[in-house]
Amino acid sequence: MKNDIKLIDIGTRFVAAGILAYSAFMKFTASAAAVYIFQRIGMEPVGRYGVAILECITVVLLLIPKTAWRGAILGALMMFGAICMHLTIIEFNINGDGGLMFASAVVVLLCCLSILVYHKTELDAELS
């Protein structure tokens, strides 16, 4: 059972890190969808680069086992913000992606929350 939990932890960290790394790459390379989103919320280009840098930091934190819970907190907060933006300002279908960006944000949020559950003891030790 312990090995199953470890595999799930590693898998969720890699899924979240992979999606965030791809998203950061798209922001750094000024993909049309990323530019459109940040123009829509009035944060182009500084906000786009700032979020991409935060995503890169999150990826590094998620990939290091001892700092995974810190990356999970940062990732969950960023994805909560992205989901709120999709629900309020930005539409779900960005440039005809069929809601893929929104779904990716939900997947990363769920992965980050599960990482926090798996690393609860480390989180409790740090906070006490």
Q: pLDDT, tens digit, for every residue of 67-116? A: 999 999 999 999 999 999 989 988 888 888 888 999 999 999 999 999 99
Task: Check: pTM over 0.85? Answer yes or no.
Answer: yes
Question: Comparing C-alpha atoms, which of 43, 113, 45 is closest to residue 76?
Answer: 113
Tell me, what DSSP letter sits at residue 119? T
Which residue range forms the structural domain that includes residue 111? Answer: 2-127
Q: Which pLDDT score is estimated for 92? A: 82
Cα separation values, 40 from 25, 58, 86, Å: 20, 24, 11
Q: Pinpoint the alpha helices (H) of 1-128.
A: 2-28, 32-40, 46-63, 68-88, 100-118, 120-127
Q: Are 76 and 113 in contact (CB under 8 A)?
A: yes
Q: Which pLDDT score is estimated for 31? A: 93
Q: Which pLDDT score is estimated for 39? A: 92
Q: Which pLDDT score is estimated for 94? A: 83
Give the Cβ contact number of residue 58 at 10 Å: 27
User: Domains in the chain: how many in total?
Assistant: 1
Question: Comparing C-alpha atoms, which of 57, 73, 64 is closest to residue 23?
Answer: 57
Question: Comparing C-alpha atoms, which of 39, 27, 24, 52 is closest to residue 85?
Answer: 39
Please enumerate, as own/partner, the contacts of 59-64 that have beta carbons within 8 Å and a separation of 24 or more: 59/17, 59/20, 59/21, 59/24, 62/13, 62/16, 62/17, 62/20, 62/115, 63/13, 63/17
Q: Which pLDDT score is estimated for 128? A: 78
